[in-house]
Every structure is written in structure tokens, then in C-alpha cells.
Amino acid sequence: MKSKLLALAASTLALTFAPAAAALAGDGSSADQSASNAANSTATNTSTTDQSADQSQSSSSSCAYGCGGAGQAQVLEQDADTNQSAASAANAYQDAVNANVPVTIGGGSVSGGDSSAAQNLSNEASSAASNTSTTYQDADQTQKAESDCKAGCGGAGQFQALEQDADTNQKADSEANAKQGAVNANVPVTIGGHKVGGGDSSAEQKLDNKAHSKASNTSTTDQDADQSQKADAKCDKGCGGAGQAQKLEQDADTHQKADSEANAKQDAVNANVPVAIGGKDVHGGDSSAKQKLDNEADSSASNTSTTNQYADQSQKADSDCKAGCGGAGQFQALKQDADTNQKADSEANAEQNAVNANVPVTIGGGKVSGGDSSAEQKLDNEANSSASNTSTTNQDADQHQSSSSSCEYGCGGSGQAQLLDQSASTNQHANSEANAKQDAVNANVPVSIGGKDVDGGDNSASQNAANSATSAATNTSTTNQSANQTQSGGSGAGQFQAASQSADTNQHANSTAIAGQTNVNANVPIVITIHTVIVVTPPSHGDHKADEPKAEEPRKEKKARKAKKGKKAKKFGKKGKDRVGSLHGRHVARLR
């Protein structure tokens, strides 16, 4: 955050180059500046990882006769990796000069007073980058084998392996730069030499400059896995035992990146510069330049991802064997994989350059009047950009196997196998850019120069300009996968099931909005009057050119010409002679 403020209010300066009796007045003169500069930056990382695992094995045997025992094994592994990076930068620069510089110089009848320059500035840059990640992993494995063996029997052998892996990588970058340079100047200079007015003169400027940037990542990963095996045998005679195996694997990878940049730049000059110079009869007064500026750039890039994976595997083998029989062998393998890659880039640039100038200059030399003159400018410049990715992936898988046998004599057992595979990949890229650039000049420039009888008054230039660019690029993806597999086998059944589901989603969205505006609004009356009389003597009439020397006449011809002229005069009389001979006059020209 950097702020340079310079407020100049030059007190009335009276320099008198006249006799002591000469009148000189000043007073009244004001420069007001109010400035606010703020830069806020926030970078946040929040991560919650819960892992819960339950493994239970139970084996009960009241062995009678040969029997054979149950062998059970369980392997459970859960892994969760979360990488988070959040960077946030907010820069607000403000340079402001507010100057009211009245200078009053006498030499007879000088009056100034009334003169104001007011500037109100606000500069703000806010940046926020945030990462939120929640990972829940829950795993349950249960094995139970019961045997009241009667005769040879053979035992149940059970195996379970469960693995869950969740990787989350999050990166959020946010940058907001707001730069404002403003000059507000009301510079009346009043110089006398007899009768100078002035007074009334105002320059008002209000500026607001904002840049907001937000980049956010939110990811939630839920993985739930249940495996249950049960073997129950009350063997009668030879029998043989059930062998069951289950394998469950869940993997969820989420990569998120969000970049956001918002730049708002504003350069504004507001100047009301009345200068009144006398030499008799000068009046100024009434003159105003108002400028109101608003410059804003908002950028937001957001990633939201939710991944839910649920898996259930259950195996049950019941046998009340009668005679030789043979046992059930069951196998289940379940795999779920969800990959989500999201990238969102957002950039919003709003740049505004504005000059508002009301520049009355009143110069006398006899009767000059100004007054009434206004230039008003209102500007609004806005660029909004948003890029967003939202992805939801739900995967649900159920596998059930049940084998029951009340075998009578030799029989043979059922063998069941199930394989289920679900995979969902989502890639999303959203790019958004909005640029709004505005250049505006609003000028009311009356200049009144006298020499007698000049009047200005009433004069206005008003400009209202709004410039806006909005860009949005959005990706939304929802993937739901659900799979159920159930097997139930009587005596001698051999069953196999395989189910595979795969969902790939690739999305790319680009959005660009550019609004460029150049405005000039000018009301430029300039009145110059020279009130005077110019005397012009016309050139002599004749065939020769005025600047050529006359050729000398010979004496004979000259005598003859004079004699001829005399005869003509006698003929027309004295009046005719006057009309011809007195062609000499004056031309009066008045320039205004």
C-alpha cells in the first residue's frame, strides 16, 4: 500500500504595484482533500482429514473328529495426501494533488474571493485466495467362521484386503492492484491595473477506484468401504470347507488450480483555471468543473469438487453337509477410481483516463464579462470476470455372494466370483477475461478577450459515460455411477460376474469481453472583440498601379490635356468639377 498526497492551498498573495490608495481584495479561497487508501489481502488454507478403520475376525470351533481349522487374514490400508497453496497480494497505490492557487496582484481595483477546489479520493484493493479440503475415509472389514465339526469336515479360509487412497492438490493465487493518480486544481489568478472582478470558481472531483480479486478451491472426498465374510458349517460326514477372498480398492485424486487477477487503473485531472487580467472593466465569476469517476475491476476464479465413493462386499457360505459334499469358494474384487482436474483462470482489467477542464480566461482592456460556464463529467468504468468449475462424482458399488447347501451324499460345492470396476475422470478448464478501457475528455473552454463590449455567460458541456465488460466461463459436471452384483448358489453352481463402468468428462470454456470507449465532449466558445475604428485611404483611380512611378508627359501633350480639362469644367459647371475632383474619403471598419 502506497499513498502520496499533496494538498496545496496557496493563500491569497497580494502584490500591489500601484499607489497606496489603490483597492485590492482577496480572501475566500479553499482547497479540500479527503483521501482513503486501503489494501486487504487474505490467504487461507483449511484441511480436514478423517480416517477410520475397523477390522474384526471371529472363529469358533467345537471340533469333533478330524475337523481342520479356519484361517483368516485381513489387510487394510488408508492413505490421504493433501497439498495446499494459497497466495494473495493486494496493492493499492494512490497519488493525489489538490491545489487551489489564487494569486491576486493589484495596481488599482482588484477583487478576487470565492474560489474552491475539493477532491474526495478512495482507493481500495482486496485480494483473497482460499483452499478448503475435507477428506473422510471409512473402512470396515469383518470375518466370521463357525464350525461344529462332525466327522472329517475341513475348515473355512477367509481373506480380505481393503485399500483407500485420497490425494488432494490445491493451489489458489489471487492478485488485486488498484492504482489511482488524481490532480484537482482550481487556479484563479487575478491581475489588476484597474477594475478586475473574479470570484466564484470551483473545481470538484470525486474518485473511487476498486479492484477485487478472489480465487477459491473447495474439495470434499468421501470414501466408504465395507467388507464382510461369514462361513457357517455344521458338517456332517466328509464335507470340505468354504474359502472366501475379498479385495476392495478406492482411489480419489483431485487437482484444483484457481488464478484470479483484477487490475483497476484510474488517471484523472480535474482543472478549473480561471485567470482574469484587467486594464479596466473585467468581470469573471461563475465557473465550474465537476468530475465524478468510478473505476472497478472484479475477478473471481473458483473450483468446487465433491467425490463420494461407497463400496459394499458381502460373502456368506452356509452348509449343513450330508455325506461327502465339497465346499463353496467365493471371490470378490471391487475397484473404484475418481480423478478430477480443475483449472479456472480469471482476469479483469479496467483502465480509465479522464480529463475534465473548464478553463475560462477573461482578459479586459475595456468591458469584458464572463460568468456562467460549466463542464460536468460523470464516468463509470467496470470490468467483471468470473471463471468457475464445479464437479460432483458419486460412485456406489454393491456385491453380494451367498452360497447355501444341504447336500445329500457326494454333491460338490459352488464357486462364485465377482469383479466390479468403476472409473470416473473429469477435466475442466475455464478461462475468463474482461477488459474495459475508457478515455474521456470533457472540456468547456470559454476564453473572453475584450477591448470593449464582450459578453460570455451561459455555457455548458456535460458528459455521461459508462463502460462495462463482463465475462463468465463456467463448467459444471456431475457423474453418478452405481453398480449392484448379487449371486446366490445352490448345490453345484459355478457363477461369475464382471461389471465395469467408466465416465470421462472433458470441458473447456473460454470467455472474453472487451469494451473500449473514447469520449470527447467539448463546448468551446471563444469570443474575441476588438472595438475600434480604422481609417483607410483608398488608392488613386487610374490605369497605372499605385506603387508604380508615373511616366513624365511631354510638354505639348500636357498643355493640350489641361486645355481640354478646362473646357469640360466650363461645360458642367462648378458642381460637376467638385464631384470629379473630390474623390477622397474615409472608410470606417468595425471588427467584432
Between 368 and 548, residue with greater pLDDT: 368
Is the pLDDT assigned to residue 548 strictly greater than 80?
A: no
Q: What is the mean pLDDT of the chain?
A: 77
Look up residue 326 and give its three cell numbers: 465339497
Q: How far apart are CA 257 and CA 433, in angstroms?
A: 17
**Mean pLDDT of the region 241-256:** 82
What is the tens place of the pLDDT at every residue in 348-380? 998 989 998 888 888 888 877 777 888 888 988
Please choose, from the candidates 382, 374, 381, the residue with its C-alpha nearest in 3D space to the C-alpha of residue 356.
374
**Mean pLDDT of the region 305-324:** 80
452 to 70, 410, 447, 448, 592: CA distances (angstroms): 124, 135, 15, 11, 10
Is the pLDDT assigned to residue 150 strictly greater than 80?
A: no
Q: Are 527 and 457 in contact (CB under 8 A)?
A: no
Q: How confident is the model at residue 13 (pLDDT cuts 50, 70, 90)?
A: very low
Please choose, from the candidates 377, 467, 479, 464, the residue with its C-alpha nearest in 3D space to the C-alpha of residue 428.
479
Residue entry with cell 478403520: 53
Is the pLDDT assigned to residue 315 strictly greater than 90?
A: no
pLDDT at site 554: 58
pLDDT at site 531: 59
Between 565 and 535, residue with greater pLDDT: 565
Residue 148, Cβ density class (10 Å: 0-12 exposed, 13-18 middle, ≥19 buried) = middle
Chain centroid, CA 423 distance in Å: 37
* Three-state DSSP class for residue 471: strand
What is the tens place of the pLDDT at every residue in 343-354? 989 999 989 899
What is the tens place of the pLDDT at every residue in 158-196? 788 888 888 889 898 999 998 989 888 888 887 878 877
The model's pTM: 0.73
Q: Are 48 and 131 in contact (CB under 8 A)?
A: no
**Lowest-confidence region among 273-277, 518-522, 535-539:** 535-539
Please choose, from the candidates 290, 286, 271, 204, the residue with its C-alpha nearest in 3D space to the C-alpha of residue 458.
286
* Three-state DSSP class for residue 493: coil
Q: How far apart are CA 10 and CA 186, in angstroms?
A: 11
**Mean pLDDT of the region 303-317:** 84
Look up residue 484 and give its three cell numbers: 449392484
Q: How far apart are CA 349 and CA 435, in angstroms?
A: 5
Look up residue 112 and give its three cell numbers: 478576487
Quickly count helices (H) and strands (E) in the chain.
1, 27
Q: How far apart are CA 558 and CA 520, in angstroms?
A: 72
Q: Are 503 and 423 in contact (CB under 8 A)?
A: yes
- Secondary element (H or E) of residue 316: strand 288-319
Q: How far apart are CA 148 and CA 171, in angstroms?
A: 59
pLDDT at site 517: 85
pLDDT at site 408: 72
**CB neighbour burial string for 56-86, b if at least 16 within 10 angstroms, e if fewer:** ebebebeeeeebbbbebebebebebebebeb
Q: Are 112 and 104 in contact (CB under 8 A)?
A: yes
Q: Which one of 129-133, 196-200, 490-494 scores highest in mean pLDDT?
A: 129-133
